Amino acid sequence: MGDSERANEKGNGKKTLDDIILGVATSALQIENAVDGAKEHDWHKLKALDGSVLENNIEHDTHMGEDAELIAKYSQLYRFSCDWAKLQEAPFSDFDKKEVERYRKFLGTLKDKGVETMLVMHHFASPMWFSDIEESDESGKKQFKRGGFEKLENLPVFKDYAKKLKETFGDLVDYWNTFNEPTTLVYLGYISGEAPPYKTNRWGKALEVLKNIKRFHDEVYDEFKKDPNSETPIGISNNTISFYPLNPLSSLPSRFINWLYNKRIPKKLNEKVDFIGLAHYGKVGLNPKPKTAIYDGPFLEAREKKTDKMFEKDPKAFKDMIMHFSEMFDKPIFITETGYCTSPSQELDGNDQHRIDYIKDTLKSVKEALDAGADILGCIYWSIFDNFELALGKNYKYGLIEVDSNQNRSPKESARFYQSLINSKNREGLLSEH
């Protein structure tokens, strides 16, 4: 069955783990070098929580041949984004031919090796000219003049970009993902202020931007569907978090945020999709404020919570979230991101079993959801490479493959385990044996 048939037909409940796609993911923002000038994006030179600065990352630009070989070795599908700022230097301009050439060569290698692709049109970063940042003399904070997704008048600009992506790379793409986790984008940009446009507690503006992103997505979906010869499935990736109360006073807030974050917003965003993209990293307890391992590690450890460096992990919560989305939508599900984050000290001890255990737990949850009737197309691990973890920095490591300061790529034990799952004809048995 081809990718279009997989995404456009609701399953019959007979799938097993052997039937789903096992993929890996990255984003251009987090693995490519950021540059100055006309090709600069709006995250460039962000100073992260760990003190690192978003600039050179893992230099994927100059390692694309090597990276393609590694991706083909350790995955069946590659979810990725292009650097919009490098492809298009001004609104409505033609794509840069050299950038097109390097991406097409990379994607051609993957296609020749039998690796499917999911291209994310917007994975957080926008060209500087789309956001149009200027420094404010009064506060020193960056001000966004053009407005990016704050302004509906920018819709034709994004539609032009999407249309050119389809014209340029459509023959090499198996799935389209318009936006990556819009709720994460607006939280970082308008609530916590950790990322562009660096605004805090702007709840009204955050909801306005979400509405605009929905409009942008819907119009791109309609535009792509005008082509009778194009059957490539289109979806959005939805970030999900299992919120729960840490005390009785947090019971009502946790119910409300679960309803808003995991039901109300996804139902609005996913009115026009061929598949449901679901990203899930774990649970967050409310006390009454959110408690994560990023800021509250000792608090969670004292309560014997199982966490990585970011979130509390719970296989049952993962399975329950899959079933929640399966029941909410009459569409197949693609798990577009999930992963396990470690610190440099954990990586130095050479023990990668924590990541292997997480992959095992994740796929057991997927199996239980399949057995319960969920239609799951695939599961994508974030990330194949250690990279720059957004506003947190380079010391938050998700990769199956280590990338050191000299840009040397070294597969971890988890990469080899993932490869064995991909090659196995009895994945469930392998999970039990390992």
φ, ψ of residue 282 to 5 degrees: the values are: 155, -160
What's the rounded Cα separation, in Å, for the pair 324 and 270? 14
Token pair, residue 366, equals 């997927």
What's the rounded Cα separation, in Å, for the pair 79 and 84? 16
Among residues 187, 119, 174, which one has the least CA distance to residue 6? Answer: 174
Residue 304 binned pLDDT confidence (cut-offs 50, 70, 90)? confident
Among residues 51, 33, 53, which one has the least CA distance to residue 41? Answer: 33
Residue 44 has pLDDT above 70, yes or no: yes
Least confident of 122-126, 302-306, 318-322, 346-350: 346-350
Q: Bigger pLDDT: 119 or 301?
A: 119
Token pair, residue 211, equals 């509405």
Residue 140 binned pLDDT confidence (cut-offs 50, 70, 90)? low
Residues 359/384, Cβ–Cβ less than 8 Å: no
Q: What is the DSSP letter of 248?
A: G
Length of the chain: 434
Whole-number pLDDT of residue 258: 97
Whole-number pLDDT of residue 347: 65
Among residues 271, 310, 309, 319, which one has the least CA distance to residue 290? Answer: 310
Whole-number pLDDT of residue 302: 85
Provide the residue type at 256 as one letter.
F
pTM, whole model, 2 decimals?
Answer: 0.94
Q: In the chain, what are the helix, strand and coil shares in percent, each to the nearest 5?
A: 45, 20, 35
Q: How many CB atoms lie within 10 A of CB 36?
A: 10
In the chain, the largest separation of any two C-alpha atoms, in whole Å, equals: 63
Whole-number pLDDT of residue 97: 98
Which strand (E) or helix (H) includes residue 279? strand 275-286
User: Cis peptide before 197, with omega less than 30 degrees from 0?
Assistant: yes
Residue 370 has pLDDT above 50, yes or no: yes
Q: Bigger pLDDT: 317 or 137?
A: 317
Whole-number pLDDT of residue 8: 46
Whole-number pLDDT of residue 348: 61
CATH of 14-433, one of 3.30.420.40, 3.20.20.80, 3.40.50.410, 3.30.750.200: 3.20.20.80
Average pLDDT over residues 67-93: 97
The helix/strand/coil state of 134 is: strand
Whole-number pLDDT of residue 3: 47
Token pair, residue 427, equals 């994945």
Residues 31/385, Cβ–Cβ less than 8 Å: yes
Whole-number pLDDT of residue 321: 98
What's the rounded Cα separation, in Å, for the pair 323 and 317? 10
Whole-number pLDDT of residue 5: 52
Residues 375/333, Cβ–Cβ less than 8 Å: yes
Tell me the pLDDT tens digit for each residue of 180-189. Answer: 999 999 999 9
Provide the residue type at 61 as one letter.
D
- pLDDT cut 70: percent of the chain above it: 92
Residue 34 has pLDDT above 60, yes or no: yes
Residue 357, strand partner residues: none
Whole-number pLDDT of residue 7: 56
Tell me the pLDDT tens digit for each residue of 387-421. Answer: 999 999 999 999 999 999 899 999 999 999 999 99
Average pLDDT over residues 249-263: 96
Residue 350 binned pLDDT confidence (cut-offs 50, 70, 90)? low
Residue 424 binned pLDDT confidence (cut-offs 50, 70, 90)? very high
Q: What is the DSSP letter of 418?
A: H
The helix/strand/coil state of 158 is: helix
